[in-house]
Structure 1
């Protein structure tokens, strides 16, 4: 007896973010020297970093601005 095959409509390509390559646009969090999440605005990146720092106070977190290539510490 044959099993019915499932048809996949469309598979969306995954966006893979490498931790050793700086992003080209937006703002990113740098956690202990590795690029992590990407955000559209600096306020969103700082809010996410503050929340992460509240849960894990031992981390070193920086906010990276891709347009100016500046890393600023989270205070």
Structure 2
């Protein structure tokens, strides 16, 4: 007997963010020199970075502002 297969009508395209290319907009966490998660606001990026730094204090975490191209450390 054949097993029924689930049919997917439409697969949503994946948004792939490369770790070696600077993002064009928003704020991004830079963890040990690699671009990671993108955020719309600086506050959200700093909160996520502080939480990550609390769990892993040995990491170097910066917040990258795509509009100015500046990287600022968490304090």
Q: What interval of TM-score do these two structures reach, taking the shorter chain for normalisation?
A: over 0.9
Alpha carbon RMSD of aligned pairs, Å? Answer: 1.2
Deviation at residue 9 of structure 1 after TM alignment: 1.0
| Partner secondary structure for residue 44 of structure 1 | helix
Inter-partner Cα distance in structure 2 for 1:44 and 1:12: 26
1:36 aligned residue: 36
Unaligned 5+ segments in structure 2 are none
Question: Where has structure 1 moved over 2 Å in runs of 4 or more?
Answer: 1-7
1:46 aligned residue: 46
Deviation at residue 2 of structure 1 after TM alignment: 5.1
Unaligned 5+ segments in structure 1 are none
TM-score, normalised to structure 1, is 0.92
Q: How many residues align?
A: 75
TM-score, normalised to structure 2, is 0.92
